[in-house]
Amino acid sequence: MSEIRDSFGGVIRIRRRRGLRNLRLAVAHDGQVTVTAPRLAPLMLIRRFLADQEGWIIDAQTRFRAAGHIPRVSPEKAREQFLAHRETARLRVDRYLTLLNAQQAWVYTSVTIRDQRTRWGSCSARGALSFNYRLVFLPPHLAEYIVAHELCHLREHNHSPRFWELLEEVLPGAAIRRQELREYSLLESGQEEQ
């Protein structure tokens, strides 16, 4: 798969398929444009096709935005945002780890801050804790919930009833925070900065 820039600076993916006769165009909910082209179609033909379809592309992206879908961020912008907030996330996680360790002695092997697309946090079988930098965009009590949740996985590596009982013991009101966290979209967190 290759990529080209559109006239607005966005990235358009180009997929080449053997046996395909016509160009195909798709716009995903996040605004990502993908052209599927015959394997030997010249780039000039693809660019002309995109220019002819520009109105349709803009209309589709506008409809998705109006429906509440968030446009995809360029890899450069995503990296820039991660680097800008990583240290703040680290300090916030460290603060909650210290507070929660004062109550119980948790044993973990490492703590990392990452740019994850599907998780607020994780805990490996070896005790490595990982947290999404986007927790800096959450209200503090929800960030604390995420840290407590992952710490509880050090003792209960699943979401069994014992896990939820432990989490409620460690962080009273955890069930309410869990419900509230569901209102936050992981990938929309921090998007207002762009």
Q: pTM score > 0.85 for this model?
A: no
Radius of gyration, alpha carbons of the chain: 22
Question: How do strand 24-27 and strand 110-114 relate by DSSP bridges?
Answer: unpaired
pLDDT-derived band at 192, boundaries 50, 70, 90: very low
Query: How do residues 17-76 score in pLDDT, each as one tens digit?
Result: 998 999 999 988 778 899 999 999 999 999 999 999 999 998 988 888 887 776 667 778
CB 127 within 8 A of CB 154: yes
Query: How do residues 90-120 score in pLDDT, each as one tens digit?
Result: 999 999 999 999 988 899 999 999 998 789 9
Neighbouring residues of 89: CB distance < 8 A, sequence distance ≥ 6: 113, 131, 132, 133, 134, 135, 136
